[in-house]
Amino acid sequence: MIAYVNDMPYEIEPGETMLEFLRRTDVVDPVPTMCQDDRLENFGSCRVCSVEVAREENGTTRTMASCHTPVFDQARIYPHTDRMKRLRRNILELVLTDYPPEKVFPEEGKSPTEFQRTIQEIGLPNVRYPEGDNHLDMSLDTSHPYIKSDLSQCINCYRCVRACEEIQGEMVLNMSGRGFATSIIKGFDTDFDQSACVSCGACVQTCPTDALHDKFETKTLNPDRTVRTTCTYCGVGCQLDVSLIDDEIRGIQAPVTAEVNEGHTCLKGRFAFQFYDHPDRLREPLIKRNGKFEVATWDEAYDYITEGLLKVKEQHGADAIGCISSSRATNEENYLMQKMTRVALNTNNIDGCARVCHAPTAYGMQKSFGTGAATNSIEDLKQTDCIFLFGANPTEAHPVTGARIKQLFMQGITSIVVDPVRTSLAELATYHLQLRPGTNVALLNMMGHYIVRENLVNTEFIQKFTEHFEDFKNHVLSLDMDELELLTGVSKELVREAALAYARAEKSMEFHGLGVTEHFQGSKTVMLLSNLAMMTGNVGQSGTGLNPLRGQNNVQGAADMGVQPHQGAGYMDVNDRAVQDYYAEKYGIPAMPEREGLKIPEMLEAAIGGKFKALWIMGEDTLMTDPNTLHIRKAMEQLDLMVVQELFMSATAEMADVVLPASSYFEKNGTFTNGERRVQRVNKVIEPIGNTKPDGQIIIDMMYRLGYEQPTGKLYDAPAILNEIAEVIPFMKGITWERLGKNGLQWPVEEDGTDTQIIHRDGNFKRGKGRFHHFDFEETPELLEHREKYPFILTTARQLEHYNAGTMTRRTDNQQISPMDYLEVNPLDAADKGISAHDTVRIFSDRGSVQIPVKLNYLVKPGVVRTTFHQPEVFINMITGNVGDQYTMTPEYKVVAVDFEKV
């Protein structure tokens, strides 16, 4: 099919609008717009984009809004006739009747707003109509730390209202009034700070004027340069455009062309960048002498570390040394850290933050499928018919993905949420299974039972591509549903309905988070989730699969790089002699360490036992984020040497003998791998602050001191190290710095650069055949040992405004929005204890106690309390315990036996 632009023929692409057709053919000057945004459903309210259209040559033309009118075969489009120019000028004239005259042109030194550019395109008309006075009555709203409004500049395009609804799904903004009295309102006509705004900034980015703007004036900046990079916060991996003036970061926007986030990001990615040059940044190496830190040179710090490590190695052996790497660091830096540990220190004692979050995901999915990573892409949400969300709250922890999921929930997709808390997504879900924390295995056994009993299994898929299904089938059919109903606290009929909905949907897509993994039976839960996907054929095709929502920006990449004691780079077993020889050849050394290393909890236990003497931590506040703080402190006090690389003086850094100041992600090159296996470039935005160095440079420097010469040279060269990684890790062999481009590649990547959006296609599992597992529910030792004395269950969670220990976000204006952790308590439990809202309570367990303010709500069930862990003033891990997943030792943060009392 073809259509004509000024009588010249061009091919039509299916489903495109006239505006999209005109932009794609690019044969005329751009058609101006005011209410149109590519991220929003086309609205057609302003009519500025109108064009003349005829259905045949020399036919009668009609005026049509090009933004929402589909282009049709043989259409003859005339975009810029005199008639259309007059129409646009008249529309603009009407808008300008109630627009501040002093805002028609850009301020000196600033870039024009989108509306000002539209005025320039159309031409400034003489305003013949009476002037409106709405813009004279509008006051500034500066109540919010980031988002400001000056509604005198509002042109009533509705874009902010639509962005709030269609992108973020919050519906905080709306229109009120009629005629000249029409205006934007926030919430129930309050200010931004008092509204339910989640501070994502989508309204600011879409607003074509400065009616909505941010404190950094990002839209009207006239930057010296703009650098594309990848966000350092959660595992979504948003792309960011960072604007600089005089080598200072002045603002961040979300690029519309980014495949991961499509022009959207959360308040952390968009606004929480001020930490990078905060006065608290570590700027010089520090050595502790006589109990106090003293500033040192890099050479002094390196000498001190080298002497200490070699002394421990000589006196106690290499296995008395260990390293903890960082999911906040790049792939290249994590690769170097595990390489230094194994090659220069000669031990497999290397671990990372996956140990305290998604290690059960990797273990469980490797056992079931052969690969411990997301099977599908977030893009597949557009193809699915059912969303199964288990133990995750993505609107808080993974906001951009959470917003996409919320949109589908609001549109009525079949949705299942398994969560002990009534989250915002649970309230929208078709089925909310509000189970008792710790009973995930029991609930999944119930779901498996009903799917098998109703014969909704995909027999062909099971027979062709899996093994051990009969064992699983016989096990779940033998279980007593009444008993499991009592255990989980969820109606068996509701579980049945949800299970059948998942099985009957043409395509069902599962997402899970730390509510699955941070449990005594975490790995078993992952394997049972894998069972559900395999038994219904929901794996290996679009819109399906198991998709872990990775907690940190590069937790997937750190694991890929070999930051675990049992597997090297590329998940190869370090106990295998052939694998040892493979790595030794790649690294150019005679032999690799032969013994599997220690996990983080094992390192700490060994330190208390006097067998582990030196610990090097890169970018991890272990003391604040790992469980049972007093136990960790005791272990660290036993060490002969502790080295910490950090941005700030964290609680862990205060325990160190040497603190090395690291550069932030803005200050270096590298790559991050997001939760969908997408390797993306981190591009250096500014030079390192003070006397800091990139983590990779620090490691290379120390490798030389320890006797190993890194083949890529003495300087940290991310593209060169990425080439080495591609040589070592088979599933990354086609990745190069250049090929990653702006949107990255999803591994496995073939040698020719072809990447993979969906793995295990057509039942092609990495392990050969998918394996079914079956397990009985086991009560966690935490409750068996402590429930009688501590009758409440504490479960921990994240808050939208903060990221993990809050090391970065607490040093931005996010702290103004959310300045404290609080304990969520069901009002019935609070009444029994004589506790009111905003009271402070002492919450205590077998390990210790902390004081924390209370927030009352019915989102948590009686007997369950919930809190976050971002503020050091609370230090909630003082009361969490040592119980961990049975296979991976991942701590059970989601079930802690506690009690509490009013202070």
Query: Whole-angstrom Cα distance, residue 556 to residue 331?
Result: 9
pLDDT at 333 over 90: yes
- Taking only the tens place, the pLDDT of each residue in 775-793 is 999 999 999 999 999 999 9
Distances from the Cα of 550 to the Cαs of 539, 756, 823, in angstroms? 19, 19, 25
pLDDT at 123 over 80: yes
pLDDT at 134 over 70: no
Given pLDDT bands bounded at 50, 70 and 90, which one contains residue 346? very high
Give the mean model confidence (pLDDT) for residues 306-313.
98
Q: What is the pLDDT of residue 442?
A: 98
Q: Which residues contact 112 (CB under 8 A, 6 or more apart)?
A: 105, 106, 120, 220
Residue 105: count of CB within 10 angstroms of its CB: 12
- Name 841's bridge partners: 852, 902
Of 129-133, 316-320, 613-617, 654-658, least confident by mean pLDDT is: 129-133
- Taking only the tens place, the pLDDT of each residue in 724-744 is 999 999 999 999 999 999 999
Pairing relationship of beta strands 614-618 and 641-646 according to DSSP bridges = parallel
Residue 406: count of CB within 10 angstroms of its CB: 20
- Taking only the tens place, the pLDDT of each residue in 540-574 is 999 999 999 998 899 999 999 999 999 999 999 99
Enclosing H/E stretch for 307 = helix 298-316
The token pair that represents 754 in the structure block: 């072809």
Distance of CA 298 to the CA centre of its chain: 34
On whether the CB atoms of residues 173 and 160 are closer than 8 A, the answer is yes
What percent of the chain has a predicted confidence (pLDDT) above 90?
Answer: 94
Q: Does residue 50 sit in helix, strand or coil?
A: strand
- Taking only the tens place, the pLDDT of each residue in 157-201 is 999 999 999 999 999 999 998 877 888 999 999 999 999 999 999
Give the mean model confidence (pLDDT) for residues 437-448.
98
Query: Whole-angstrom Cα distance, residue 820 to residue 867?
Result: 10
Question: Residue 808, by phi and psi: left (phi above 0), alpha (psi -120 to 50) or beta?
Answer: alpha
Q: What is the pLDDT of residue 130?
A: 79
pLDDT at 469 over 90: yes
Given pLDDT bands bounded at 50, 70 and 90, which one contains residue 128? confident
pLDDT at 493 over 80: yes
DSSP letter string, 380-448: GGGT-SEEEEES--HHHHSHHHHHHHHHHHHTT-EEEEE-SB--HHHHHSSEEE-PPTT-HHHHHHHHH
Q: What is the pLDDT of residue 568?
A: 98
Give the mean model confidence (pLDDT) for residues 877-883.
95
- Name 186's bridge partners: 173, 190
Query: Whole-angstrom Cα distance, residue 350 to residue 596?
Result: 10
Of 182-196, 261-275, 300-314, 689-703, least confident by mean pLDDT is: 182-196
Average pLDDT of the chain is 96
Q: What is the pLDDT of residue 58?
A: 84
Query: Whole-angstrom Cα distance, residue 87 to residue 688?
Result: 53
pLDDT at 501 over 70: yes
Given pLDDT bands bounded at 50, 70 and 90, which one contains residue 137? low
What percent of the chain has a predicted confidence (pLDDT) above 70?
Answer: 99
* Helix ranges, 167-266 (H): 202-206
- Residue 770 backbone dihedrals phi, psi, to 5 degrees: -65, 140
pLDDT at 125 over 90: no
Pairing relationship of beta strands 823-825 and 546-548 according to DSSP bridges = unpaired
On whether the CB atoms of residues 852 and 822 are closer than 8 A, the answer is yes
Given pLDDT bands bounded at 50, 70 and 90, which one contains residue 57? confident
Give the mean model confidence (pLDDT) for residues 767-776.
97
- Taking only the tens place, the pLDDT of each residue in 597-615 is 999 999 999 999 999 999 9
pLDDT at 222 over 80: yes
Q: Which residues contact 733 (CB under 8 A, 6 or more apart)?
A: 726, 727, 749, 750, 751
Of residues 259, 52, 29, 38, the one with CA closest to residue 121: 29
- Taking only the tens place, the pLDDT of each residue in 519-536 is 999 999 999 999 999 999
Q: What is the pLDDT of residue 184?
A: 92
Query: Whole-angstrom Cα distance, residue 478 to residue 456?
Result: 18
> Where does residue 175 rank: exposed (0-12), middle (13-18), buried (19+ CB within 10 A)?
middle
Query: Whole-angstrom Cα distance, residue 420 to residue 516?
Result: 11
Pairing relationship of beta strands 678-682 and 745-746 according to DSSP bridges = antiparallel
Distances from the Cα of 178 to the Cαs of 151, 154, 184, in angstroms? 15, 14, 11
On whether the CB atoms of residues 317 and 309 are closer than 8 A, the answer is no
Percent helix, percent strand, percent coil in the chain, to nearest 5:
35, 20, 45
CA dihedral 765, 767, 773, 778 (to 10 degrees): -110
Q: What is the pLDDT of residue 432?
A: 98
Q: Which residues contact 578 (CB under 8 A, 6 or more apart)?
A: none
Q: What is the pLDDT of residue 649?
A: 97
Q: Which residues contact 23 (CB under 8 A, 6 or more apart)?
A: 30, 31
